[in-house]
Structure 1
Amino acid sequence: MRNNLLSWQWQGYSVAHRDRRNLLLHLFTAPIFAAGLAMSLAAPLFAGWLALPGIAAMLAVLVVQGRGHRDEASAPVPFTGPADFVTRFVAEQLVTFPRFVLSGGFRRAWHATTTV
C-alpha cells in the first residue's frame, strides 16, 4: 500500500485520464462498482445472494476500465502488489474519480480532446 494514497493518486490522475472513450467508461462504470461494493457489503446483513451480483459487477468494472486504460497515452503506474492494486482501485472508484468529476477535471479532459 502507498502512503498518502489519495493525494498521490490525485496528482497523476488527469494525466492518465484524457481519452474520451476511457472517460465515458469511467463515468458509467464507477457507479456500478459502488453499487456492487454496497451489494457485497450488505449481503451478510440482508440477503446472502446479493454477494454474487455485487462481486460480478465489481469484476466487470475492473475488466472494462482496464481495457479503457489501454487507449490512454499515459500508462498507469505499475502495481506493487495485491494490496496496492485493491486499495488504488477502490480509492479511484469511490474517491478520486468522483473528485475528478466534481472538481471539473472530467469536463476539462473531455474538452481537451475531440475523439471518442
Structure 2
Amino acid sequence: MDKNKVGNQLKALRKAKNMTTQELADKVNISQSYISRFENGRAIPDIEMLESILTALDTDLATFFSSELEEMPDDLIQLLNTVKTLSPEARRKLNEFLLLVKKE
C-alpha cells in the first residue's frame, strides 16, 4: 500500500466518523499537521502510530488493510461504524428493516 492509498483511506475513515484532523490529532496526542501530512501522502505513519490512529477511528489494522475497505464509499464506512456500536438486538432489528426496504 503506497502513501497516497494510506492517506486517502485514513481521510475517508476520519470523515466517516465526522472528525476533524484536529479532533483526531487530539485523540492520538499528535499535532494536526502530522495527521494532515499522512492524509495528503507527504508522510506515512509507522505501524505503532497507524495502530493508534486506527484505534482512535474505532477500527484495526486488519480492517484497514482489507481490500474491501479501499473500495468502500464514505457513507458505507460511516454506516458500518454506526452498526458496530449497536447491541445485537438492535443490529437484528436494523437488518430486518433493511431487508424490508430492499424488497420495495
Asked if these proteins are the same fold (TM beyond 0.5), I'd say: no
Query: TM-score, normalised to structure 2's length?
Result: 0.29
TM-score, structure 1 length as denominator? 0.27
Work out which structure has the larger RCO, using CA pairs closer than 8 Å and 6 or more positions apart in sequence: 1
